[in-house]
Structure 1
């Protein structure tokens, strides 16, 4: 009998660690596997500087805070949303930005804000056959067209709110 155990460290860009064992060696392998896992975990934690860990934690807080604030403001613009939540959402964003600055010694990078607010995060995990089908069927073109429509809509709304000319 073969047993596979998967343990996730919960660290960024690190996958789960897997240990495959047989029934007869189960207690020993689990004990030694956990020991190796703890050694690996301690090494990984030791490699991260305090600033990197603080930056990562601040970004984990900032991304959802920015997304909620932005989505709420967009809904308010169209006549929906929750204006009463704006101060709370702004405070959450500011708190995460200050935590980022405390951890790194500088303000948050525009690329990190753009990544947090990017609605075009590509789906992954497509096989070659699926990608070929999407390309040949035209669904890829339709998806790309919808992305461009969304981008133009956002640009137009921003221009209207600031009383500027719309530029493509």
Structure 2
């Protein structure tokens, strides 16, 4: 019965700032950093292998910065969801690892932005590119864990009674 209570608590928002029941804002906000950082990688590759290095280098730098701001917002919203989880459970441990990896990604991407800024946005920054690449690899691991939280463990997903109504 204790597990059932913990499960139901993980599905309900702790605050309306986290989004309404069944519609967590964290899941929507993560598209900003993921999209920005993947686009930055593409821009970096075009800058490295293409003939318009300056424009794509500048674009990559701004995309890293936009992703960082979006990542901070996503982290705040994710922390609201984290607050619904019962300590000592597998889901809490998974969420903690997910959060720690994402904080490391934010540090790497913030570092990438600062390295690019120091080099000048018009110059290709190998250091900024490498930091972003490492950050994206870690983001893939964290994304897998986020998928585990939502799809396997049902964190902030509508419970089965609510879902069942859509199939009647």
Q: When the two structures are superposed, what TM-score results if normalisation uses the length of structure 1?
A: 0.34
Larger strand percent: 1
Larger helix proportion, structure 1 or 2? 2
TM-score between the two structures when normalised by the length of structure 2 = 0.34
More relative contact order, 1 or 2 (CA 8 Å, 6+ apart): 2
